[in-house]
Structure 1
Amino acid sequence: MQIEYYTITRKTTRKRRRKLPLIGVFALFLLTTLVMFHIPFVGHAGRQQDTEPPIEEAPTPHAPMSGNQSAQDTPQDLPTQSAVLEPAVPHTPPADYDFSSHVPVSEVVSDDWFADAVFLGDSRTDGFLLYTGIPATGIAQKGLMVDTFFTRACFEQPGGEKITAAEKLAGLDSVEKVYLMFGINEIGWTYGSVFAARYGELIDHVRELYPGAAIYVQSIPPVSKKESAKGECTNERIREYNDRLSVLAEEKQVYFVDVAEALTGADGALPDEAATDGVHLKKSYCALWLDYLKTHTVS
C-alpha cells in the first residue's frame, strides 16, 4: 500500500511540475504582446491610462469665432467680397428729339456749362479753346485726324512720356458732354465714305468710354475763297463731308450742331477777315463759334 501511495504521489508531483513552466510561458507571451502592440493597461476603475487627448477639429473658414478664440486663430487670406460697380446710365435724349435735323436754337447757357465737357479735334479746336478760355477739357492737336486719334502719340505726360488722344480721353475722371470736330485734315482722302466710317468708330469709342455723355458732332467750318481756289481743300468738298456727318449723326443718334452756319459768308466761304491763313479762325470768329454753341444745346 505504501508503494502504491508513493507512486501516485510521485505521478501527481510530476504533473504539477509540468504545469508551472506552461504558466510562465503564457505570462511571458502576454507581456510581450502588450508591449509590441501598445495595448494600454486597464486600471481598477476601468479608465485608460497614458492615452493622448482627443484631437479637436479645426474650425471651418465660415465658422463664427468663439468668445475665447483670438483673431490670430482665424484665416487671414479669406476672399473678400469685391465692390459691385453700378453700371453707367446711358445718355437719354429728349423723347421728341429729331436726329435727322440739326440742333435747334435753345436758351443761352453760360461758359460754366462747358465745365464738364471735352473737345476733341485738330488745330482749329485747339485755337478755339485758347481764344475763348472756356473751362472745358481739350484734347486737340495740330494735324490730328479720326484715324491717328488712336495711333499718334502726341500728348506729353508730366514724366515726358507721350500718349495718344484715345489714351488721354480714357484717363479723364468725369465727362458729361463731348464735342467733336474733325475733317479739315481728312479732306484730301480719296473716299469720303472712309472718313465717315472712321468718324463713326470714334463716336462708338467715345460712347463706350462715357455712355452717359451727350455727344455733339460739329460741322466743319469752310475755308476762305482764296484757300478753296487752290484745289487742295475746297469748300465743295467740305460741304460733302458735312452732309456725310449729318447722316452719320442720325445713324449714331448723336447731336449734329452746325457751327459752320455761323462762320460762312454769303458766298459760301469763310470771310477773309475771319482768318489770316484762310483756315484757322481769329479770336473774334472763335467767339462767334462759342456763341453758336451756347445757343444750340440739348437739355
Structure 2
Amino acid sequence: MSKKIKERDERYEPKAKHLDAVICVAVLIMVVAVTTIALLWVNKNIIKNNEKDEVHLNETGHVSNESNYLETEESYKEPFVLDQEVAYKHAHFNNSWYNFSKYKAKCDKVDDSYFENVCFLGDSRTQGLLQFSGLPKWNGFFKVGTTAAAACYEREYTFGDGYYRNILETIEYADYDIFYVGYGTNDLGLGDADKFIQDLEVIIDKIKECHPGAIIYVENILPMGEAFSINHPTFSNENARIYNAKIYEMCNVYGDLIYLDIASTMRDDNGNARSAYISDGLHYNAEGYKVILNFIKGAVVEKKTM
C-alpha cells in the first residue's frame, strides 16, 4: 500500500468510527422509545381493566351511566346469554335501566294475561293506557290531575268496598307482586324535580314495605305535543327530560327498581310527542296507548335465580 493511500485511510478511519457510534446511539434511543410506549400502553390497559373490575364488583350492581352499565352486564352473564339479552334489551327496552345482578329480560313479549296480576299507579295518562289500549283485564289506581304528593293524601281510591283511601293506604291492600308507577306529568307544573323525587320515593318505599320483593317499574314522563310544550313552559319537553334524568338517577340509587323508558318510543326527531299518537297535546289517543302497551309488553324482566 502506498504511503498516500495509507495516510488517506488513517484520515477517514476516525470519521467512520464516529458514524458507527452515532448509529448505535440512534438505535438505542429508538429501542428505549418503543419500550416506553409499550409499557405505557400496558399500564393504561391495566388501569382500564382495574376500573372495569371496580364496576363489576360494585355490591349493588348499579351504575350511573349507560356505558358503565353495559360493562356491568358483562359481569353477570355467560357470553351467549349476555349477547342474547343485550341484543334484546337494545331492541326492545330503549334506554330503560335494570340491575343485571338482580333481573334478566324475558327476551319475549308477554300476552294480555300478564296484566291480570299487575297493578298500575298513576294519573290520567295511566288511566288512558288502561282504558283505551285494548287490555281486556287490568288493575290500577289513578286520578286525573294528581301528583305524587297529592296521591298520598287524596282519598280517591277504592276496591269497591265503599271505602276511599289515599294511595299509600291503597298499596297496603293491593295484593300484587308487580307494580308500574307512573307519576310526574302533573308534577312538572310544580317546577321542583327534587321535591317530585322525594314524593315519589314515599310511594316507592310504601310498596317495598308492604310488598317485599315486588318488582317495581318506574315509568318516565312521556313527551308533550310540540305546541303544548311551547305554550306551557313548565310542562315543556325540556323540563320532562330533566325530571326523567332524576327518575333514572333514583332507580340507580335504589338499585332494584326498573327505569322504564317509554318516552323514547313516543318522541319524534325533535323530541316532541309523535303527532299521530297525541290528542290534546298532553294526553295520547287510543293508537298512542296501544303503542305504549306494546312497548311495555316487550320490556319485561324477571328475577334472577341465585
TM over 0.5, shorter chain: yes
Matched residue, 2:282: 279
Q: CA deviation at 1:274?
A: 1.6
CA distance, structure 2, for counterparts of residue 243 and residue 276 of structure 1: 26
Q: CA deviation at 1:237?
A: 0.2
Deviations 1:46-78 (A, max 9, x none): xxxxxxxxxxxxxxxxxxxxxxxxxxxxxxxxx
Closer/same/farther in 2, CA of residues 96 and 162 from structure 1, 3 Å limit: closer
Give the 3-state SS of the residue equivalent to 2:165 in structure 1: strand
1:260 aligns with 2:267: no
User: What amino acid does structure 1 have at the position aligned with 2:186?
Assistant: N
Closer/same/farther in 2, CA of residues 250 and 134 from structure 1, 3 Å limit: farther
Q: CA deviation at 1:261?
A: 1.2
Q: CA deviation at 1:137?
A: 1.1
Matched residue, 1:198: 199
Contact 1:117 1:177 in 2 (8 A): yes
Alignment of 1:87-166 (within 5 A): 100=64, 102-103=96-97, 106-132=107-133, 133-156=135-158, 158=160, 160-166=162-168
1:291 aligns with 2:300: no
The farther-off stretch of 117-126 and 226-235 is 226-235
In structure 1, the gaps of 5 or more residues are: 1-94
| TM-score (structure 1 length as normaliser) | 0.64
Matched residue, 1:37: none
Deviations 1:138-175 (A, max 9, x none): 01110121111220011356465432122222212x31
Closer/same/farther in 2, CA of residues 248 and 278 from structure 1, 3 Å limit: same
Closer/same/farther in 2, CA of residues 150 and 275 from structure 1, 3 Å limit: same
In structure 2, the gaps of 5 or more residues are: 1-58, 67-95, 99-104
Alignment of 1:23-34 (within 5 A): none
Give the 3-state SS of the residue equivalent to 1:250 in structure 2: helix
CA distance, structure 2, for counterparts of residue 272 and residue 226 of structure 1: 11
Alignment of 1:239-250 (within 5 A): 239-250=241-252
Matched residue, 1:208: 209
Give the 3-state SS of the residue equivalent to 2:184 in structure 1: coil
Q: What RMSD, in angstroms, separates the aligned Cα atoms of the two structures? A: 2.1
CA distance, structure 2, for counterparts of residue 255 and residue 156 of structure 1: 27
User: What amino acid does structure 1 have at the position aligned with 2:172?
Assistant: A
User: What amino acid does structure 2 have at the position aligned with 1:273?
Assistant: A
User: What amino acid does structure 1 have at the position aligned with 2:285?
Assistant: K
CA distance, structure 2, for counterparts of residue 247 and residue 143 of structure 1: 25
CA distance, structure 1, for counterparts of residue 292 and residue 63 of structure 2: 22
Give the 3-state SS of the residue equivalent to 2:218 in structure 1: strand
Deviations 1:96-118 (A, max 9, x none): 97565524873111111122110
Rg larger for: 1
Give the 3-state SS of the residue equivalent to 1:142 in structure 2: coil
Give the 3-state SS of the residue equivalent to 1:268 in structure 2: coil
Match of 2:235 among 228, 233, 243: 233
Alignment of 1:64-75 (within 5 A): none
Alignment of 1:17-96 (within 5 A): none
User: What amino acid does structure 2 have at the position aligned with 1:170?
Assistant: E
Give the 3-state SS of the residue equivalent to 2:150 in structure 1: coil
Give the 3-state SS of the residue equivalent to 1:275 in structure 2: coil
Give the 3-state SS of the residue equivalent to 1:217 in structure 2: strand
CA distance, structure 2, for counterparts of residue 226 and residue 232 of structure 1: 13
Matched residue, 1:221: 222
| TM-score (structure 2 length as normaliser) | 0.62
| Equivalenced residues, count | 204
Contact 1:99 1:249 in 2 (8 A): no
Closer/same/farther in 2, CA of residues 199 and 99 from structure 1, 3 Å limit: farther
CA distance, structure 2, for counterparts of residue 190 and residue 233 of structure 1: 9
1:171 aligns with 2:173: yes
Point out the structure with the larger helix share.
2
Closer/same/farther in 2, CA of residues 113 and 96 from structure 1, 3 Å limit: farther
